[in-house]
Structures are given as structure tokens and as C-alpha cells.
A = this chain, B = another copy of it.
Amino acid sequence: MKRITILGTGNVAQNLFEAFSSSDDINVVQVVGRDIKKMEFFKNRTSIVPYDEELALTDIYIIAVKDDAISEVSEKLRTKGLVVHTSGAAALSELKTHERHGVFYPLQTFTKSRLLDFSEVPICIEASNANDLKLLHRLGKAISSNVVAIASDKRRALHVSAVFLNNFTNYMYTIGEELCEENQLDFSLLKPLIKETADKLEFIDAFEAQTGPARRGDQQTLHKHLSQLKSKKHREIYTLLSNSIRASYQFKKDKA
């Protein structure tokens, strides 16, 4: 059994803690944090330690804090154990003051008060030496069936992709909410569509799955839609994305 320290108390820390709790191979010995309210989550389940107190020795130290706090937390940490962060964007080298360092990045979106089923969350790992990569693989396998070694540059590319697939997709949902509000429509009418749009990726590539007036080059509907949109912001986004979709399929057609 491996002994673990989690530094941080937010959504990622809570989700990792919960997932490790179900594993016989991992024991979260202590959680380090300063936010008393967030500490509540861990109370009576493990040892809770403030940042300035001495830590118990463990095999791995997981820094699960915001990107811009990683280096500060890392610098305060005195250990010869393996130190990893959980960020998609931060480089492996941010932890280089520790001889043994690595990355343990769960590629998922975490929401306050929502505990996820980790079993299919991809865990992207990276380490400064081969033995520690093995150790991180074991740590990942304790909670997920999907553990992959990914170097920093590829992890950064995944992170940018995630901005499109999560941040921007969610923003499309927000615009949907705004349009429903403007037109006194119940947004929940659109939820089955949102779900199916995501689910169909199991059966078909997104490029093939594309439908709608932009793909068809249906100018009449495009103009009708633009005239219906009251917000300049919505019109700008509608225009740029439609033109961009149109160009992709036109290009494909010209090549064929």
C-alpha cells in the first residue's frame, strides 16, 4: 500500500481523495490546506494539516492547487519523496527543485460539490525518472482504467483542446441559455439535444456528424438566423463559426 499526501482542498483534491478512498492500494495519510470551510470535506476521514506544520513522510505528494499557486506550494514542501502536480497547463519543470517530480493530470472538468466516477477519467502521467513513472502508473490504476504517459508538450496540446471541448462548448450552452431567456423558452427543452450531440461521438466523427445551414451552405437560413439574433455578440459568433464551418466543408469538396 502506498502512502499519499494531498496538498490542496478544492474540487480536484476532493475528487482525488474520494477516488483514492475506494482503493485498497492507496492510503491518503494527510491533506494539507488553509481553507477551513473546504477542510470540512476531509474531517474525520484523514489527518488535516495546516501549510506551516511538519508533514508525515509519504511516498507521493500531490499538489492539487490552482496553476499559479503550484510553485509557491512546491517551494515550501521539504521532502525526498515524489512530488507531482495535477495541472494540464503547468510544465513538469515547475517542480524541478524536487529531485523526484512528476505530473498526475486527470483530464476532466471538476465541479464544486460534484463527485465524479473516476473509473474512465484519463490520467495523464509524466515523471522525471522511469521508476517514478511506474509509481504514478500504479497510483493512476488505483482509480482509473485509463492511465497514459504523456510528455509536457502533448499535455499542453491536450489542455488547449480541452479549452475548445469544455470551455467553449460550455459557452455555446450559455448562449443557448441566453437565447431561451430572451425568448421566454424553457432551456430544458434543449437538454436532450445537448446530450445526443455529445453522445453521437461514440458512433461518428465530429467532422462527419456536422449538420446545419453552414455545412449545407444554406444562405437563406443563415440570413434568417442572423436577423433573429438581437445581440451583436451572438451575431459575431454566429458569423465567424458559420463561415469557418462553411470553409472547412467547401475545402473538402474542392479537394474531392
Chain A: residues with CB nearer than 8 A to chain B? 67-68, 89, 107-109, 111, 114, 116, 120-122, 124, 146, 148, 154, 156-177, 179-180, 182-185, 189-207, 209-215, 218, 221, 224-225, 228-229, 233, 236-238, 240-241, 244-245, 247-248
Task: Decide: A207 and B174 in contact? CB cutoff 8 A.
Answer: yes
Q: A198-B194, A221-B89, A241-B237 are in contact. Are A175 and B164 (CB under 8 A)?
A: yes
What are 30 inter-chain pairs, A to B, with CB distance below 8 A? A107-B192, A107-B193, A109-B197, A109-B200, A116-B196, A122-B189, A146-B192, A157-B183, A157-B228, A158-B189, A159-B225, A160-B229, A164-B172, A164-B176, A166-B194, A166-B211, A168-B237, A170-B211, A171-B244, A171-B245, A172-B172, A174-B206, A174-B248, A176-B206, A194-B198, A195-B198, A198-B198, A236-B240, A236-B244, A240-B240
Q: What residue in chain B is nearest A248 (Cβ atoms)?
A: B174
Q: A165 contacts B192, CB within 8 Å?
A: no
| A209 and B170 contacting across the interface, CB-CB below 8 Å | yes
Q: Which of A167, A191, A210, A229 has the most CB of B within 10 A?
A: A167
Q: A169-B169, A201-B194 are in contact. Are A244 and B233 (CB under 8 A)?
A: yes
Q: How would you classify the secondary structure of chain A's contact residues: helix, strand, loop or mixed?
A: helix
User: B247 contacts A190, CB within 8 Å?
Assistant: no
With most chain B CB atoms within 10 A of its CB, the pick from A154, A164, A177, A198 is: A164
Complex: A148 Cα to B184 Cα, angstroms? 14
What is the minimal beta-carbon distance from A34 to any residue of chain B, in angstroms?
Answer: 20
- Which residues of B lie under 8 Å from residue A170 when comparing CB positions? 197, 206, 209-211
Closest residue of chain B to A200, judged by CB? B111
B205 A160 Cβ-Cβ under 8 A: no
> Could you tell me if A177 and B206 are in contact, using CB atoms closer than 8 angstroms?
yes
In the complex, the chain B residue whose C-beta lies closest to that of A215 is B167
CA distance A213 to B124 in the complex (A): 20
| CB-based contact A211/B167 at 8 Å | yes
